[in-house]
Amino acid sequence: MSELHTGGCHCGQLRYQFSGALHDIAHCHCSICRRVSGAVVTTWITVPASAFQWLTGQPAQYDSSPTCARYFCRHCGAQLALVTQLSADSIDVTIATLDHPEQAPAERHIWTDSRLPWLHLDEHLPSEPEETL
């Protein structure tokens, strides 16, 4: 039996679920995540696309780069997920939109070449200058 995880946006227009263990969780420091979220870091979990489904609503899509599409709520603006052509069989979901984000601690840092120099967060975790797929 697989673990089932649910989440959604702030206003409740979008709900999603995915199955599987909570692993492959990373704090992303890239400038694109900062700009689209308004946060200094965005924490993502990567899950198989086949394990993910939207339960209610249809997200709006923003192509933040030639290879990456981000999904967000058109009503409240919450950023929920992204897919990249570099890893087409998976989807990244924002940990903060899970119903129980406390169950999903980060395991590593990615895109640390873009890390803000004054940010000190989970410094004991492994770091990658760019994300490795």
Domain boundaries in the chain? 4-113
Phi-psi region of 86 (alpha: psi -120 to 50; beta: other; left: phi over 0): alpha
In the structure encoding, which two tokens stand for residue 13, read together? 């227009």
Q: Tens of pLDDT along the chain (133 residues)?
A: 469 999 999 999 999 999 999 999 999 999 999 999 999 999 999 999 999 999 999 999 999 999 999 999 999 999 999 999 988 899 999 999 999 999 999 999 999 999 999 988 888 887 888 776 6
pLDDT in tens, 81-112: 999 998 889 999 999 999 999 999 999 999 99
In the structure encoding, which two tokens stand for residue 22, read together? 């909570």
Does CATH place domain 4-113 in 2.170.150.70?
Answer: yes
Please, what is the average pLDDT of the chain? 93
Q: How far apart are CA 133 and CA 113, in angstroms?
A: 16
In the structure encoding, which two tokens stand for residue 127, read together? 């770091």
Torsion of CA 110, 112, 114, 115, to 10 degrees: 110
